[in-house]
Amino acid sequence: MKRIVLGSRGSALALWQSEYVAAALRVIHPGLDVQIEVFSTRGDRELDRPLPELGGKGLFTAELERALADGDIHLAVHSLKDLPTEDPEGLAVLAVPPRADPRDALLVRGDHLLALAEKLQSFPESYEPQDPFVALPPGAVVGTSSLRRAAQLLRARPDVVIKDVRGNVPTRVGKLDGGEYDGLMLACAGLDRLELADRIHRRLGVPWLGAAGQGALALQGLFTNDALRELILPLDDRGSHLEVVAERTVLSLLGGGCSLPLGVSASVNHSRLQLRARLLSPDGTRIAEANRDGEATGRGAPRLATMLVRDLMEGGAQQILEDLQDEAV
């Protein structure tokens, strides 16, 4: 192939991701003509309702997948966490580049950070509070469009008020600075890529878990396009690919999408794969958690995910899922 067209959403973050892929392809294949075509998705256009209310799959991916099927583009660049666990017929994730930080970030309004700094003046300079949410005042209004983030936050801080927030990353940060929110929950990877890492108050690690595939990119194309597969193979990172396969298998087996309050995290360390998951009720009062460790192989990742889901179901996930289904009716 001498020319390749990448499909991308139009947000600053999506364009950064597509430019990143395009630049990598140009380095690996000097002389390759790489172009980017921008698409507007339903999730980008309909900003007046929370994501769970929009329903359906592929809110941020369907238009790009249609362009792939029609042959208008060769490769779609997705944030992997936005991609449904089942590919449309004929399409597949052909490569997963090295993953960025998969954690969630807490952003806090400046006046609250100043108040916290004043409280900590009497402590040693190296002291750091163990509570990651200590900067949020009682009854703080926190913006997130994710049920997973909301459930985990309510479990840690039942007093906070969850308020939906939509729009691209800079728009959301602007709403925080404008006083609409006391805090925001966003993905670390997006903030890092847009050079907004200095706005992160805390990067949230275990027991807090991110979404399946968070921090990873998915390069999606026609399953039968062997020339394209060979072209982008150097971009595929084995460890990152195994991690997202395990995480997405958990999500798929639980029958979930963006409306499932599920946190899941896989980590490859040499030949081992560690997998964690936590499913919560929307209010955060009930939780099912499980951890598993297994072989970091193509077959080992989905097998480990299957065993972990069994542990979750035995630990209370079945009832949480049934209640979620009842609420959706």
Cα-based torsion angle of the residue sequence 153, 154, 158, 162 in order, rounded to the nearest 10 degrees: 90
For CA atoms 41, 219, 171, 106, the dihedral sign is positive
**Annotated active-site residue in 82, 104, 182, 237:** 82
Give the whole-angstrom CA distance, residue 239 versus residue 219: 16
User: How many other CB atoms sit within 10 Å of the CB of residue 174?
Assistant: 12
β-pair type (75-79, 217-222): antiparallel
β-pair type (272-280, 262-269): antiparallel
For the record, the structure tokens of 49 come out as 């309702």
Nearest to 188 by CA among 172, 170, 200, 175: 200
DSSP string, 75-134: EEEEEGGGS-SSPPTTEEEEE-PPP---SEEEEE-HHHHHHHHHHGGGS-TT---S-TTT
Give the whole-angstrom CA distance, residue 289 versus residue 277: 6
Specify the residue for token string 């959301």: 172
C-alpha pair distances (Å), 209 with each of 32, 107, 302: 39, 17, 19
Nearest to 41 by CA among 17, 68, 13, 60: 60
Give the whole-angstrom CA distance, residue 221 versus residue 162: 37
87 among known catalytic residues: no
Provide the annotated active-site residues.
Answer: 82
